[in-house]
Amino acid sequence: MPVVVVATITPKPDQVDAVRDAILTAVPKVHEEPGCELYALHEGDGSFVMVERWESPEALKVHGRAEALTTLGGAIADKLAAPLDVRRLAPVPAGDADKGAL
């Protein structure tokens, strides 16, 4: 069963560009990880939001220890205004199956 994750990254106001650059460096590497179905970056209101879909809980677990994520974490650790907000979500089927789920 696929796993959906929404991660919000809130940089310090003077670190937005540095955090964006670090995330953009990580994204192509994450896209190559086994089980990555979606890893899409969004930006707004001073934060970055990553919408993710992994093919299984096991793939997500591997991602959590992967080089791309550990390197990203180190690169942004002192540049954040708040702790990472990572939420693992379960789909709730509703309406049109093609439009009602990631």
Helix count and strand count (H, E) for the chain: 3, 4
In a domain, 65, yes or no: yes
- Domain range for residue 33? 3-89
The number of folded domains in the chain is 1
In a domain, 102, yes or no: no
User: HSE on the CB side for 65, CA within 13 Å?
Assistant: 4
In a domain, 79, yes or no: yes
Residue-by-residue DSSP string for 36-69: EEEEEEEEETTEEEEEEEESSHHHHHHHHHSHHH
Q: What is the pLDDT tens value at each position of the chain, 102 positions in all?
A: 889 999 999 999 999 999 999 999 999 999 999 999 999 999 999 999 999 999 999 999 999 999 999 999 999 999 999 999 999 998 888 899 888 888
**Measured on CA atoms in the order 96, 87, 51, 1, is the torsion positive or negative?**
negative
